[in-house]
């Protein structure tokens, strides 16, 4: 059986879009044995275990920035040791910085072909032009140039490799969604329990976002929009991050703290229940590689309000801005709280139109974003290139 070693900074139980993608893809590919080197964030986490179809090897420890930097040499040493024992046929870097251990392994003589997946949500400048990255950028550029194939989750990210000197094949394969899991067929009792816990009353409207609380996701704009909307409109925030304190202060300053509910980190499998009691999903991103949360909301059949930043424009179509496409949501400009408020009012005032658009979105996601399709394309169009 062919073997691939994955490098990923994080993995279960620390879950984001990239980690979900790895698991959903590898679980569906049975003819490849996957191993992974990832970071051990907590001492309680096992140094080795099997999760789905991936044998996970954790190194280091801690959540500090220094721990993340030290992950590179630690991952390199573990990768070298694992290769001596397992004789891998290919490597897989999940996002750009995971090229560093691969390139260090190459310096030590391991020259097996590798795949790079781009899932970055930050802008190009932040990923590649920060002061801390500049000294090692030549190594990063070399990592891009020597990749056997690069896979990106959006047409937006597909433009990045050429800027870094890569001339090989770029394959666009988006992340997927478990449509059945995110559909609104949640039991009435579960919905009622969550609604009661959150204090949702008849006539209340819940905006929702499932986001890291960081500047790029522009949750401050949603809070500013909330101040422009009637008092029965509330905002559920599922997620955690460095901006939480600032967002709480903003909500208090604008007089909407009692309508803004910070729910913290919610396990991914529980998110559909919160979507099922919500009325509109809002994510006015300032940058976005793709936006997994958006297609999950579409699968849950709730209206989506978002910007057209980055990869979002691949699947979010607005009736006014994309006249040749079936509308799948409502597009607003970046940093435009007033437009967010206007879009919310439009959705609430036009329920038949809202249903038509959300039906379009559900159809699009069901047809083009299933994990079975994603896994098949990854096996045939990406991994096949390194397992010749």
- Note the pLDDT of residue 69: 86
**pLDDT tens sequence across 332-358:** 999 999 999 999 999 999 999 999 999
- Note the pLDDT of residue 187: 58
- Note the pLDDT of residue 319: 93
Burial grade of 320 (CB within 10 A; 0-12, 13-18, 19 or more): exposed
Average pLDDT (6-13) is 95
CA 380 from centre of chain: 23
Whether the predicted pLDDT of 195 surpasses 90: no
Whether the predicted pLDDT of 95 surpasses 70: yes
Average pLDDT (176-201) is 80
Whether the predicted pLDDT of 184 surpasses 70: no
Distance CA 168, CA 166 (A): 6
**pLDDT tens sequence across 68-90:** 889 999 999 999 999 999 999 99
- Note the pLDDT of residue 191: 73
Distance CA 188, CA 386 (A): 48
Q: Which pair of tokens denotes residue 363?
A: 């159809």
Q: What is the mean pLDDT of the chain?
A: 94
Residues contacting 350, CB < 8 A, separation 6+: none
State residue 208 phi and psi, 5-degree precision.
-140, 150
**pLDDT tens sequence across 130-177:** 998 999 999 999 999 999 999 999 999 999 999 999 999 999 999 999
Whether the Cβ atoms of residue 289 and residue 265 lie closer than 8 Å to each other: no
**pLDDT tens sequence across 121-134:** 999 999 999 998 99
Q: Domain 179-368, what architecture?
A: 3-Layer(aba) Sandwich (3.40)
Q: Which residue has the tokens 């976002």?
A: 209
3 state DSSP class of 30: coil
Q: b/e for 53-67, b at 16 or more Cβ within 10 A?
A: bbbbbbbbbeeeeee
Tell me if domain 2-176+370-386 and domain 179-368 are identical in fold: yes
In the chain, where do the E strands start and end?
A: 2-7, 32-39, 48-51, 54-59, 90-94, 114-118, 149-152, 170-172, 205-210, 233-238, 260-264, 280-283, 304-306, 330-331
Give how far Cα 35 sits from Cα of 114, 139, 237, Å. 14, 24, 34
Burial grade of 107 (CB within 10 A; 0-12, 13-18, 19 or more): exposed
Average pLDDT (61-73) is 85
Whether the predicted pLDDT of 186 surpasses 60: no
Whether the Cβ atoms of residue 275 and residue 208 lie closer than 8 Å to each other: yes
- Give the closest residue to 22 by CA, choosing from 48, 56, 60, 65: 56
Rg of the chain, C-alpha, whole Å: 21
Q: What percent of the chain has pLDDT over 70?
A: 98
Q: What is the pTM of this model?
A: 0.91
- Note the pLDDT of residue 193: 81
Whether the predicted pLDDT of 197 surpasses 60: yes
Sheet of 205-210: strand order equals: 260-264, 233-238, 205-210, 280-283, 304-306, 330-331
Whether the Cβ atoms of residue 34 and residue 2 lie closer than 8 Å to each other: no
3 state DSSP class of 348: helix
Where along the chain do its domains lie? 2-176+370-386, 179-368
Whether the Cβ atoms of residue 260 and residue 227 lie closer than 8 Å to each other: no
Distance CA 203, CA 97 (A): 47
Neighbours of 368 (CB within 10 A): 14
Residue 188 pLDDT level (bands cut at 50, 70, 90): low
Distance CA 214, CA 219 (A): 8
**pLDDT tens sequence across 351-364:** 999 999 999 999 99
> Higher-confidence residue: 190 or 271?
271
- Note the pLDDT of residue 16: 85
CATH top class, domain 2-176+370-386: alpha beta
Average pLDDT (104-113) is 96
In 134-259, where do the E strands start and end?
A: 149-152, 170-172, 205-210, 233-238
- Give the closest residue to 259 by CA, choosing from 198, 331, 185: 198
Residues paired with residue 262 on neighbouring β-strands, in sequence order: 237
- Note the pLDDT of residue 185: 54
């Amino acid at each position: 059986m062919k073997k691939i070693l994955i490098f990923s900074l994080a993995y279960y139980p620390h879950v984001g879009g990239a980690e979900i993608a790895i698991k959903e893809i590898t679980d569906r590919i049975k003819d490849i044995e996957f191993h992974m080197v990832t970071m051990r964030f907590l001492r309680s986490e096992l140094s080795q275990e099997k999760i789905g179809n991936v044998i996970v090897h954790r190194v280091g420890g801690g959540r500090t920035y220094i721990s993340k930097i030290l992950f590179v040499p630690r991952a390199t040493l573990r990768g070298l040791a694992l290769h001596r024992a397992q004789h891998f046929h290919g490597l897989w870097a999940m996002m750009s910085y995971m090229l560093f251990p691969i390139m260090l392994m190459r310096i030590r003589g391991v020259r097996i072909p590798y795949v790079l997946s781009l899932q970055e949500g930050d802008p190009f400048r932040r990923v590649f032009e920060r002061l801390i990255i500049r000294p090692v950028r030549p190594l990063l550029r070399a990592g891009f140039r020597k990749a056997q194939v690069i896979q990106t989750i959006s047409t937006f990210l597909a433009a990045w490799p050429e800027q870094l000197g890569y001339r090989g094949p770029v394959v666009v394969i988006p992340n997927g969604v478990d449509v059945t899991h995110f559909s609104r067929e949640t039991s009435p009792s579960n919905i009622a329990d969550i609604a009661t816990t959150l204090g949702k009353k008849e006539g209340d409207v819940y905006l929702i976002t499932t986001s890291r609380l960081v500047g790029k996701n522009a949750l401050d704009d949603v809070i500013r929009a909330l101040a422009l909307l009637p008092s029965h409109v509330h905002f559920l925030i599922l997620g955690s991050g460095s901006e939480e304190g600032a967002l709480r202060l903003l909500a208090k300053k604008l007089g909407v703290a009692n309508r803004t509910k910070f729910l913290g980190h919610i396990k991914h499998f529980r998110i559909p229940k919160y979507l099922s009691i919500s009325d509109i999903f809002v994510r006015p991103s300032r940058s976005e590689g793709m936006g997994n949360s958006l297609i999950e909301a579409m699968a849950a059949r709730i209206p989506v309000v978002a910007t057209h930043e980055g990869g979002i424009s691949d699947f979010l179509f607005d009736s006014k801005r994309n006249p040749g496409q079936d509308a799948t949501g409502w597009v607003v400009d970046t940093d435009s709280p007033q437009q967010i408020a206007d879009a919310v009012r439009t959705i609430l005032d036009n329920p038949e139109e809202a249903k038509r658009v959300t039906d379009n979105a559900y159809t699009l996601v069901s047809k083009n974003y299933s994990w079975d399709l994603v896994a098949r394309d990854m096996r045939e169009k990406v991994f096949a290139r390194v397992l010749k």
